[in-house]
Chain A
Amino acid sequence: QVQLVQSGADVKKPGASAKVSCKASGYTFTGYYINWVRQAPGQGLEWMGWVNSNTGVTNYAQKFQDRVTMTRDTSITTAYLEVSSLRSDDTAVYYCAREQISPYYSSYAMDVWGQGTTVTVSS
């Protein structure tokens, strides 16, 4: 079945970097973007950006432009999110979610989500 399986929880110190993985299975990996969305404790959902799993092109939210890197490895159908210079307010659950790529000026909703990865930033 179609699924996205994320890496396990992580604890980092302020200033460090965190890398989260998202393993895709059950569908054609290169036909979809992988979006990253985070949720701070007790808060709403915040879109961080996406990576085109076919080309590797990225689109980041301006807020995260300087501190995030989204990549993918098509050989193992896995996408990655790396956040650098971590601060306490980066403590959140990080989700990956797929979105179908359209060759035209169409958009698709995020239809399959990973289970989430908790990243805790604490000294």
Chain B
Amino acid sequence: EIVLTQSPGTLPLSPGDRATLSCRASQRVRSSYLAWFQQRPGRAPKLLIYEASSRAGGIPDRFSGSGSGTDFTLTISRLEPEDFAVYYCHQYGSSPRTFGQGTKVEIK
């Protein structure tokens, strides 16, 4: 099983700041099948990034993903008020599928 470790656990920032979230895998993620989801309180997760760096439909270009192998990053270039939420990385290249424990981006 691939264990995904996200850091930091909490990221206090202000609107307009740049956010950098990390996801490290315990083994290589096949074909960079790594996704990022955003979850707001009381809502279902929303797909932001797939295949490590491809934006899902309708996702603003302030969200970008990078990385390969075992190290992946989600960057939010300028935080908007609606971006304060919990972010999960997720690998879907091997079974069982796994999620990171999440990074909460909160208002400083």
- Report A's interface with B, CB cutoff 8 A: 35, 37, 44-47, 59, 61-62, 95, 97, 99, 106-111, 113-116
Asked if B13 is an interface residue, CB under 8 A from chain A, the answer is no
- Say which size band chain B's interface belongs to: 20 to 34
Give the A-B contact count at a CB cut-off of 8 A.
Answer: 57
- Report B's interface with A, CB cutoff 8 A: 30-31, 33, 35, 37, 39, 44-47, 50-51, 56, 88, 90, 92-93, 95-102
Q: Which of A37, A45, A110, A116 has the most CB of B within 10 A?
A: A45
Structural contact, B44 and A45, CB atoms closer than 8 A: no
Structural contact, A107 and B93, CB atoms closer than 8 A: yes
User: Which of B45, B92, B95 touches A99 (beta carbons < 8 Å)?
Assistant: B92
- Tell me which residues across on chain B come within 8 A of A107, comparing CB atoms: 30-31, 33, 92-93
